[in-house]
Chains A and B, each alone.
Chain A
């Protein structure tokens, strides 16, 4: 817990948090702008369309935040202060990923609250935003599971992560059906789609070939979490810790 708290505090610098909250708030802002002219009956579909498509800004915010979990320790030369401790490497990996998830969830709540404010601003029913929170939470868990190990392993992890989000998730996963099943964003949208009473057409397009379903989504996210944990544990055990 001490380690997770330390890593969390280090990640959550005021300037960075404000900038990332602004980035994660883009779906809320877009909804606010688009919602004024929308038919009240279409508000719920519009909400799902916007957060499923514009929500990538939140994915980028989570990337920026979570790759820094251990990368800042490595780049700053402070990794020995946490590595040379009587802590099993798997525990070190668990706390690190947990810190990443918690930080991502903090931004998730901010991003989601921005959508709530957007909904309130246009006079729509805020209850529609509740399922939307699952999208932010699921994405926080999934992305932290892969970006925390990525940050530890790869010096230019931010660039690699952006490549993953833009090239693989946004472009390749559109074209390659099999790849879409492994897209963290689509997995998160699939959970949201299962919970949202109304799901817009454009949101369905964003989901692509992935079937809506909480169970399937949770299993995939659990697998991503297990894979991330295994990768980080092995990296901590086998690679130079500098």
Chain B
């Protein structure tokens, strides 16, 4: 299916800071996960696609139009912003009803009720948003975005603050929207979250595209990357000597009381290490992956390109 959102050579900078750099990508029907660590440029990319910010360079087209020049396109685009900004004095029903009427939705009351039911907020609809938990606010924002039944739905970290039950419900909802032919772009810095809801993943780091493809492709790329593990133990040199022949170990560095292991298969090393420590009478006081953060994994992806 053809892309509903096309981004060509898009860059966005704020003074000397480059938030998005030379991004060319398209989003089509279905759920796409926009993955990257905090500060990767996901939010800026979404805001530019939503027409809230001008591109410094490049072009954005949503359903064939430039959203900044064609406000009528906002019938078919909705954004759930990342920040907690919301009309705290309005009730959930008033907030969603306002969104419906501003979007010129037919029968705003009925549609408000529909989306309140979709996000399971009917019982709290009379309450002011200021008294809502973060997860409830997120659901109210999602409901406000859904009230106009948009073709393109941009969701910036929509699961932030949601409890596990709410997360599962929202993920199911996004998948259903994707299956129904809507273009759903969901940003997150949590790989597991994206894995659960998106068939296609776009990974960003430092404002650039790091990887594009299926979750499996991204995972495979990640498993090729050596992981670093820090170990604090009673005899790091003895432990290093034992590990040197182990499968999956590609590098060992001893410094003070610490051993830094570089492993292509961190899982195998983690399994082998306890027995090795017992056999050699070594007591391990601390074992910690040093670069498991998404940011460092993404940096590897960028460097590997």
A3 touching B71, Cβ below 8 Å: no
Hey, what's the 0/1 contact readout for B49-72 against A, CB within 8 Å counting as 1? 011111000000000000011011
Task: Select one of B50, B75, B101, B103 contacting A80, CB under 8 A.
Answer: B50
B72 touching A2, Cβ below 8 Å: no
B86 touching A2, Cβ below 8 Å: no
> Which residues, 67 to 122 on B, are CB-close (under 8 Å) to A?
68-69, 71-75, 77-79, 81, 83-87, 89, 98-99, 101-104
Q: B144 at the A/B interface (Cβ < 8 Å)?
A: yes
Task: Give Cα A66 to B74, complex, Å.
Answer: 27
Task: Give Cα A237 to B70, complex, Å.
Answer: 10
Given A77-B85, A80-B79, verify A242-B53 contact (CB < 8 Å).
yes
A77 touching B83, Cβ below 8 Å: yes
A78 touching B87, Cβ below 8 Å: yes
> Which residues, 80 to 118 on A, are CB-close (under 8 Å) to B?
80-89
Q: A240 at the A/B interface (Cβ < 8 Å)?
A: yes
**CB neighbours of B102 from chain A (8 A):** 2-3, 6, 81-82, 85, 87
Q: A76 at the A/B interface (Cβ < 8 Å)?
A: yes
B79 touching A84, Cβ below 8 Å: yes
- Kindly report which residue of chain A lies nearest to residue B69, judged by CB atoms: A237
Q: A45 at the A/B interface (Cβ < 8 Å)?
A: no
B54 touching A86, Cβ below 8 Å: no
- Kindly report which residue of chain B lies nearest to residue A76, judged by CB atoms: B85
Given A77-B83, A85-B102, verify A240-B54 contact (CB < 8 Å).
yes
A78 touching B86, Cβ below 8 Å: yes
**CB neighbours of A2 from chain B (8 A):** 98, 101-102
Q: B47 at the A/B interface (Cβ < 8 Å)?
A: yes
Task: Give Cα A237 to B84, complex, Å.
Answer: 25
Task: Select one of A76, A83, A87, A88 contacting B52, CB under 8 A.
Answer: A83
Task: Give Cα A87 to B50, complex, Å.
Answer: 15
Task: Give Cα A238 to B81, complex, Å.
Answer: 21
Given A87-B102, A240-B54, A242-B52, verify A80-B81 contact (CB < 8 Å).
yes
B68 touching A81, Cβ below 8 Å: no
A84 touching B50, Cβ below 8 Å: yes
**CB neighbours of B47 from chain A (8 A):** 242
Task: Give Cα A240 to B67, complex, Å.
Answer: 12
Task: Give Cα A87 to B73, complex, Å.
Answer: 10
> Which residues, 220 to 241 on A, are CB-close (under 8 Å) to B?
237-241
Task: Give Cα A79 to B81, complex, Å.
Answer: 11
Measured CB to CB, the closest approach of chain B to A13, in angstroms, equals: 8
- Kindly report which residue of chain A lies nearest to residue B87, judged by CB atoms: A78
Task: Give Cα A87 to B47, complex, Å.
Answer: 18
Task: Select one of A76, A80, A85, A239 contacting B71, CB under 8 A.
Answer: A85
**CB neighbours of A78 from chain B (8 A):** 85-87
Q: Which 3 A-B pairs have the closest CB atoms?
A: A77-B85, A85-B102, A240-B53
- Chain A interfacial positions (CB closer than 8 Å to B): 2-3, 6, 10, 76-89, 237-242
Provide 14 A-B residue pairs closer than 8 Å at the C-beta atoms, listed in order of the A residue: A2-B101, A77-B81, A81-B98, A84-B51, A84-B74, A87-B71, A87-B74, A87-B102, A88-B71, A89-B71, A237-B68, A237-B69, A241-B53, A242-B47
